[in-house]
Structure 1
Amino acid sequence: MQASLLIALIPALAWGATGIVTTKMGGSAGQQSLGMTFGALIFGILTLVLYVIPSAGFDFAMNPRLWVVGFVSGLFWAVGTAGQFIGFKKMGVSVGNPISTGGQIVSNALMAAAVLGEWTTGKMWLFGSLAILSVVVGAILTSLPDAKTPKVENPNYDFKAGLLAMLISTLGFMMYFVLPNLLFKLGYISSAIHGAPNGNGLYYMTSVVGPQSIGQVLGAFIIVIFFLKERSIMFELPTWRNIVTGLVWAVGNVFMFVSAANPAVGQAVATTLSQMGVVVGVFGGIFILGEKKSKRQLVYAVIGSLLVVLGGIMISNLSIF
């Protein structure tokens, strides 16, 4: 179990760094989203060719139902990512990251508990609810403004618009996270496929990564062209630089889905631990990207991050109840 939890923490490191990397790479929200999907596509194809087909076999890897699951999941991810990058630009990474993290932890934990049935006792629901409350309070604390601090000169700053973008992002990420296990619960994916090869779901969750990356690219193109109206700049240099962002994100993606399929971890635990990168995102935004915080805000950020981590630890240990 300890090794499984360590693997489940890899996405936290990779995804916590994503906001920092993409900010360093630069570009508009559309360029960041599109470039990131290109990196994810490269990683997805490599995963398919170098691992899935040699290990699970060509027929398993090309199963049409696996491709539907992966592709649709990728479309939802594109919505989540575009919303997140817009939110980062409107609010800053150190504020937007914990809000995004808190929303994802709450929505995915509740989805896994209520829809996937992973919380099976009254005690699990009690402590799970307390854990979610801890995460929510922590996310709020990390994003609290300080009225005594001069406003940061950010021509894109718009807290309400950023919050709306993060809400849309949360819904997109929720469906991206939960869809592979949800379609199994609904009977679209058989137990034999879902559990292959030895009940740990490794083949299933790595098989969806390739088609998922195709859905991500298509979804990003649709959003960039028709919603963000960035057709004229979508192939400029910042887009190509953000391939690096996509590669960093893709590492976390593979390990998150592997952990979610592992019965020793489960959807609620895997998605919660994957969001512990809030610590990386918050303090990386402050110390690497130079986002200004007052002493009071730094205290709030520390307390808030600890509450988010505490909530994550509680959710990851609900099985003892």
Structure 2
Amino acid sequence: MNIAILMALLPAIFWGSVGLVSAKMGGTPAQQTIGISFGTMIFGMIVMFGYAIPHGFYLGPEIWVTGFFSGLFWVIGISALFMLFQRMGVSLGVPLSTGGQVVMNALLAATLLGEWTNLTMWLVGLFSILLVVAGVVLISRPEKDENATEKQESRIDSKSILYLLLAVGGFVLYFILPNYLAKLGYISNSVKTAGDGLNFTLAILGPQSIGQVIGAILITVFVFREGKTMFAKPSWRNLLTGLFQALGNLFMFLSAANPAVGQTIATTLSQLNIIVGTFGGIYLLNEKKSPRQMKAIIAGTILVVVGAIIIGNIHAFA
């Protein structure tokens, strides 16, 4: 395995570790949201002032508007994800949220962005979505054994489903907004495609990170109502969580820009974060699973990964 592929696997490791690191750093979902947001802002400012501005990347008003609002959507997603982890655990929350994102991103890319251009792409895409859904169903199957504890049996409830929907919705809107605004013409094609798309992706990181921090503060104060404790020690410890998120972003961009890897392979390999998050939660955070659940989780994870890989390569069927 060459260095380029190894580097392309790093986003899966870093992103898959976000839930594990935040659990180890502790704190409430609000403090975890504040910590990861400030951590990603540090990275975003370094990229903006250390690379984007010195290299003359376009930073017009549409870059700031797009980045800022996509950052706000990301905060909704990450704060809901931390609440989901608290309620379901990392080993269950990661595959459910990842599977939901894979399905929704694919459907919106097909319908809203019009990226599925022929019958073959639709058939392959729908088949891959079925694989992901089947995998999610297996992963989320509750324990029915007589010895199952009450906590295990009640992990998926109405609040968990709400947090899951908010997490998936926030992350999907964060991802889809820049592409949709480009399709509408708000972002010109020359700006969107400069440097094979890398210039635009790096340029919006700074505005995104500002939107993330402002959104995190607003959610902490007005939704979580933890304004007095949002800068307590757990928040600062979770800067490390932000570092893991930022490193995942960095290696994703580097891999996508590397001709030996490319955008499709880089995106596909990043989906393997589900393996890190799922089994890291089980073995590192000691989230208990019965033998029956483990078999279902392994089978479900394989289906989600295979489905995600197919969707990541959907343009091969164009």
Common topology (TM > 0.5) = yes
The separation in 2 between residues aligned to 1:3 and 1:195, in whole angstroms, is 26
The separation in 1 between residues aligned to 2:64 and 2:11, in whole angstroms, is 23
Match of 1:170 in 2: 168
**1:25-64 superposed matches below 5 A:** 25-55=25-55, 57=56, 60-64=57-61
Deviations 1:67-121 (A, max 9, x none): 1111110000000011111111111111111110111111111111222222111
| 1:135 and 2:132 correspond | yes
| 2:89 partner amino acid | G
Match of 2:111 in 1: 114
Identify which of 214, 217, 241 aligns with 2:237.
Answer: 241
In the superposition, the TM-score normalised over structure 2's length comes to 0.90
Partner of 1:265, secondary structure, is helix
The separation in 1 between residues aligned to 2:159 and 2:290, in whole angstroms, is 24
The separation in 1 between residues aligned to 2:9 and 2:202, in whole angstroms, is 17
* Distance 1:217-1:196 versus aligned 2 partners, 3 A rule: same
| 1:196 partner amino acid | A
Partner of 2:176, secondary structure, is helix
Partner of 1:235, secondary structure, is coil
Match of 2:213 in 1: 217
Partner of 1:54, secondary structure, is coil
The separation in 2 between residues aligned to 1:258 and 1:183, in whole angstroms, is 24
* Distance 1:223-1:271 versus aligned 2 partners, 3 A rule: farther
Q: CA deviation at 1:298?
A: 0.8
Deviations 1:235-267 (A, max 9, x none): 11000000010111122234556778999636x
Match of 1:299 in 2: 295
Instruction: Say whether the 8 Å CA contact 1:91–1:159 is kept in structure 2.
Output: no
**Identical residues among aligned pairs (%):** 49
* Distance 1:254-1:152 versus aligned 2 partners, 3 A rule: farther
Identify which of 250, 270, 285 aligns with 1:274.
Answer: 270
Match of 2:225 in 1: 229
Identify which of 179, 197, 201 aligns with 1:205.
Answer: 201
Instruction: Say whether the 8 Å CA contact 1:108–1:271 is kept in structure 2.
Output: no
Q: Larger deviation: 175-184 or 30-39?
A: 175-184
Partner of 1:118, secondary structure, is coil
The separation in 1 between residues aligned to 2:123 and 2:69, in whole angstroms, is 33
The separation in 2 between residues aligned to 1:179 and 1:41, in whole angstroms, is 19
Instruction: Say whether the 8 Å CA contact 2:76–2:170 is kept in structure 1.
Output: yes
Instruction: Say whether the 8 Å CA contact 2:267–2:312 is kept in structure 1.
Output: no
The separation in 1 between residues aligned to 2:126 and 2:104, in whole angstroms, is 12
Give unmatched runs, 5+ long, in structure 2. none
Instruction: Say whether the 8 Å CA contact 1:201–1:262 is kept in structure 2.
Output: no
The separation in 2 between residues aligned to 1:292 and 1:206, in whole angstroms, is 40
The separation in 1 between residues aligned to 2:116 and 2:306, in whole angstroms, is 18
Instruction: Say whether the 8 Å CA contact 1:79–1:172 is kept in structure 2.
Output: yes
The separation in 2 between residues aligned to 1:274 and 1:96, in whole angstroms, is 17
**1:80-119 superposed matches below 5 A:** 80-119=77-116
The separation in 1 between residues aligned to 2:150 and 2:15, in whole angstroms, is 26
Q: CA deviation at 1:145?
A: 1.7
Identify which of 186, 189, 196 aligns with 2:187.
Answer: 189
Q: CA deviation at 1:5?
A: 7.7
The separation in 2 between residues aligned to 1:286 and 1:305, in whole angstroms, is 13
Give unmatched runs, 5+ long, in structure 1. none
Instruction: Say whether the 8 Å CA contact 1:101–1:278 is kept in structure 2.
Output: yes
Partner of 1:182, secondary structure, is helix
The separation in 2 between residues aligned to 1:5 and 1:153, in whole angstroms, is 40
* Distance 1:7-1:118 versus aligned 2 partners, 3 A rule: farther
The separation in 2 between residues aligned to 1:5 and 1:152, in whole angstroms, is 43
In the superposition, the TM-score normalised over structure 1's length comes to 0.89
The separation in 2 between residues aligned to 1:128 and 1:272, in whole angstroms, is 14
What is the root-mean-square deviation of aligned Cα atoms in Å? 2.5
Match of 1:283 in 2: 279
